[in-house]
Amino acid sequence: MQYIKVDHTGSVATLTLDHGAKRNALSSQLVGEILEALDNLRAKEVRVVVIRAAPGAKVWSAGHDVGELPEGRRDPLGWDDPLRHVVRALETQPYPIVAMVEGSVWGGACEFVLACDIVIAAPEAAFAATPAKLGVPYNVSGMLTFLNAAPARVVREMLFTAQPISAVRACDLGIINHVVPADEIEAFTYELADQIAKNAPLSISVMKEQLRILAGAHPMSPQGFERVQGLRRQVYDSEDYREGIRAFKEKRPPRFEGH
Ligand code: LCV
């Protein structure tokens, strides 16, 4: 494993995102290593997994690897996109996943964190949902992850402004579970993980799956789905989408023209 570290003591395991040079961007390689590690841990009868960045990281994850986004004419967040794979994996592991967040969380990494079962953050942490900053059409299941984690009005503010919200505000709104000072967050997180690990794993894994099924039980007519897909195609086929990607790569502010 080049971009993550896996530690496993007893029934609690830890995945540490460790690609600081790229601010733990969710590249296909980093995501592939997470998926492999989660699969291996299932076989080891782990009862809780903590996902964190390296201690003291200023950036928990910079989100989707922008360099891996298509430059147009193709859905940037389709079923087989690494971000979609890892969100589905987090939601379907048969054990709770606890995100321990120090540092800033960007774009698809926000969804990654919100797809975890429990989120504990240091006060300095912040969460920025950034599709509008890049001109990206977020996808339906991703939007549902946000709507299942935050009040719709807050989701709109996060998505439309693309500005970070603080861990304290996110906790006040019930979007995350706890804000704990950075020098106490490890002890707090593992004490909570141990509490979970002492309980009945079968009961917990079935309740987790029930909650996933219920959270996804939002009827959408075939027409509604086709309309959404058509609207999203207008976005990823737009000049603004290409400009957002180009501006990121050229390290300059984007100039969006609305087409
Ligand atoms: C590839 C990166 C990235 C990165 N990809 O360090 O949600 S959606 O729809 O928008 C979805 C499509 C998505 O998640 O898009 C990505 C959204 N992410 C962002 O907008 C965050 C982009 N990154 C930043 O704003 C900064 O990198 C932060 C604030 C995270 C950290 O700033 P800092 O000054 O500490 P640098 O910007 O210098 O980045 C260090 C290296 O990581 C790369 C970046 O290109 C640079 O590489 P080089 O040293 O080769 O130049 N990097 C950072 N984020 N998302 N690569």
CA dist., res. 128 & res. 101, Å (int): 13
Q: What pLDDT, on the 0 to 100 scale, is given for residue 240? A: 96
Residue 91 lies in a domain: yes
Give the residue numbers spanning the domain of 83. 4-183
Q: What pLDDT, on the 0 to 100 scale, is given for residue 152? A: 97
Per-residue pLDDT of 135-184, as tens digits, reads: 999 999 999 999 999 999 999 999 999 999 999 999 999 999 999 999 99
At residue 41, the 3 state secondary structure works out as helix
CA dist., res. 28 & res. 14, Å (int): 20
Residue 255 lies in a domain: no
In the sheet with 178-179, reading across from the earlier edge strand, the strands are: 4-9, 12-17, 48-53, 97-101, 118-121, 178-179
Task: Indicate the pLDDT class of residue 33, thresholds 50, 70 and 90.
Answer: very high
Q: Is the pLDDT of residue 58 over 90?
A: yes
Q: 244 CA to middle of ligand 1, Å?
A: 13
CA dist., res. 227 & res. 213, Å (int): 24
Per-residue pLDDT of 181-209, as tens digits, reads: 999 999 999 999 999 999 999 999 999 99
Residue 14 lies in a domain: yes
Residue 226 lies in a domain: no
Per-residue pLDDT of 210-253, as tens digits, reads: 999 999 888 889 999 999 999 999 999 999 999 999 999 999 99
Q: Is the pLDDT of residue 22 over 90?
A: yes
Q: Whose CA is nearest to atom 54 of ligand 1?
A: 62
Cα separations (Å) of 107 from 11, 104, 112, 221? 31, 10, 9, 28
CATH of the domain at 51: 3.90.226.10
Q: What pLDDT, on the 0 to 100 scale, is given for residue 219? A: 86
Q: What pLDDT, on the 0 to 100 scale, is given for residue 177? A: 98
Domain total of the chain? 1
Q: Give the residues surrounding ligand 1 with Cβ less than 6 Å away.
A: 22-23, 25, 59, 62-67, 69, 106-108, 130-131, 133-134, 136, 138
How much is the average pLDDT of 102-121?
98
Residue 82 lies in a domain: yes
Q: Which of 17, 18, 23, 111 to mutate for ligand 1's pocket (most ligand atoms within 8 Å of CB)?
A: 23
Residue 115 lies in a domain: yes
Residue 235 lies in a domain: no
pTM tops 0.85, yes or no: yes
Q: Which of 27, 106, 140 to mutate for ligand 1's pocket (most ligand atoms within 8 Å of CB)?
A: 106
